[in-house]
Amino acid sequence: MRERYEAAIGIETHAELNTKSKIFCPCKNEFGAPPNTDCCPVCTGMPGALPALNAEVVRSAIKMGYACACTIHNVCKQDRKNYFYPDLPKAYQISQFDIPLCENGFLDVTLDATGRKKRIGITRIHIEEDAGKLLHDSAASGTLIDYNRCGVPLIEIVSEPDLCSSAEVKAYLDMLRLTLLYLGISDCRMQEGSLRCDVNVSVRRAKTKTLGTRVEMKNVNSFSAVARAVDYEISRQIALLEAGGEIRQETRRWDDLKGESALLRTKEDAQDYRFFPEPDLLTIVIPSEQAEALRAQIPELPNARLGRFMTQYGLSYADAFLLIENRDRADLFEKTSALGVPPKTVANWLNGEVAHLLGERNMALAESHLEKKEFAAALIAIERGAISHTAGKTVIEALLFTDQTTEAFIAEKGLAQISDTNVLRAAAERVMTLNKKAVDDYRNGKTNVLEFLVGQCMRASKGTGNPALFRDILSELLTKEK
């Protein structure tokens, strides 16, 4: 049934910008302060207070515009969107209506491991202010309001309805998030609400052109919820059409716990926001040399980097994605590979042991001591067999959390791998004497005890013995002394 239909999905993403102060007042733009401590007459809408635009907000939005290949409107304005709600102290939101800062761009998204790409149209990117937060406190006498979030700067990124499935939506949002992170303009912390989505879904008969009636879904608070909401809505609309029904243009509210959506309002009771130009603010004028300077600051973007990592370094999609997901990790990967370490080795260690050790301590790579030169030295030592893989892990841990050098740490801890066969033979003989039963078992045909004996040898040598050589020597001794 599903293959007889095609879905068209467009996403409106609100990203909180990480500027130091709010969009229209000097209050701190920070998450997690005690309620109503980061606010002032301006962001709480006191009578007589006026907004003054934070230029950093415009700069951040323009960077996102350039990252999405948008046309930048060097001359644009801000507008009032009028509606009543307790979290909106002025009863209007300062936003942009008919002339957004950025328009008509796109975001390239790599969809899957095959490297298949899709270009998703970006309709517009505009700046606006966030509203406060309502706290429904059952202990108190009803609803409380925290105005700290009022005036937190947002950009709204509106996509074309170019996405066809929840998987594509997921890939788009991942790439959007990474792009914001690469630009350094948003922290993209979903759990703190710094990235939020409204999703527009319509379905139509396969191979027809005209888009179906669209339904907007609000309150979609995580990327995984977006995927669930999209799948639910596509199925709901198809089932409705199959039953001979008709899709109404409406807004629905997604309930992620129940896994279903409910009608919020129909087109008939859509609000009239009575947009008009914000008279308290001047026209935004961006001199072209300033715009050019911002364009020059755009780094290589994550999707381009993903593709390059796969072709230039021969990495798999999964390896490359894990690297580019974190700009610092990808940077360290490139710098370490440039010092002569095989890229695949660098990727494995970064995505494996390094990510694991940092994750355990909930630490970011940038906060650790790891840097390219010592990291490369350690990886080369492992590659050449100068230290064992096990010892390598100890070295990497030391490089991450202390300011040790690879060479000094190996020397200090005596981790250098021993490949002198005379030394190893003596150790193996000692182990065989101490493990008579295993030796007998081996000679009675249970040859799989060899690995146990190798392990014992490694233990006896405190990890410094070359395990491959131990294995050879043990096999030789076990067969010879029959």
Chain residues binding another protein by CB under 8 A are 41-42, 44-53, 80, 82, 84, 86, 89-92, 145, 272, 274-276, 279-282
- Alpha-carbon radius of gyration of the chain: 30
CB of 219 to another protein, least distance (A): 18
- What beta strand segments (E) does 29-141 contain? 71-72, 75-76, 79-82, 92-95, 102-110, 117-129, 133-137
CB closer to another protein out of 239 and 282 = 282
CB closer to another protein out of 77 and 117 = 77
Give CA–CA dist 353/320, Å, rounded: 16
Give CA–CA dist 153/12, Å, rounded: 16
Query: 472 Cβ partners below 8 Å, 6+ apart?
Result: none
CB closer to another protein out of 246 and 272 = 272
CB of 311 to another protein, least distance (A): 49
Let me know: does 145 contact 168? Beta carbons within 8 Å.
no
Let me know: does 162 contact 121? Beta carbons within 8 Å.
yes
CB closer to another protein out of 92 and 349 = 92
CB of 47 to another protein, least distance (A): 4
Distances (CA, A) of 243 to 1, 207, 236, 250, 430: 12, 20, 11, 19, 80
CB closer to another protein out of 274 and 361 = 274
CB closer to another protein out of 65 and 132 = 132
CB of 21 to another protein, least distance (A): 13
Let me know: does 22 contact 56? Beta carbons within 8 Å.
no
2 DSSP 8-state letter: G
> Token digits for 184?
């350094």
CB closer to another protein out of 280 and 371 = 280
CB of 88 to another protein, least distance (A): 9
Give CA–CA dist 102/95, Å, rounded: 13
Let me know: does 164 contact 204? Beta carbons within 8 Å.
no
CB of 12 to another protein, least distance (A): 20
Give CA–CA dist 438/260, Å, rounded: 61
> Token digits for 237?
């609309």
21 DSSP 8-state letter: B
Give CA–CA dist 341/37, Å, rounded: 51
- Torsions phi, psi for 11 (to 5 deg): -120, 135
Give CA–CA dist 162/159, Å, rounded: 8
Give CA–CA dist 441/430, Å, rounded: 17
Q: What is the DSSP string of 156-214?
A: EEEE-S-B-SHHHHHHHHHHHHHHHHHHTS----GGGTSEEEEEEEEEEETT--S----
In the chain the first and final C-alpha atoms are separated, in Å, by 71
CB of 291 to another protein, least distance (A): 21
CB of 401 to another protein, least distance (A): 46
CB closer to another protein out of 53 and 322 = 53
- Torsions phi, psi for 146 (to 5 deg): -110, 115
CB closer to another protein out of 50 and 434 = 50
Q: What is the DSSP string of 326-351?
A: SHHHHHHHHHHHTTT--HHHHHHHII
Q: What is the dihedral of CA 330, 333, 334, 340, to 10 degrees?
A: -170
CB closer to another protein out of 49 and 418 = 49
CB closer to another protein out of 54 and 466 = 54
Let me know: does 169 contact 11? Beta carbons within 8 Å.
yes
CB closer to another protein out of 80 and 126 = 80
Give 224's strand partners.
none
CB closer to another protein out of 280 and 292 = 280
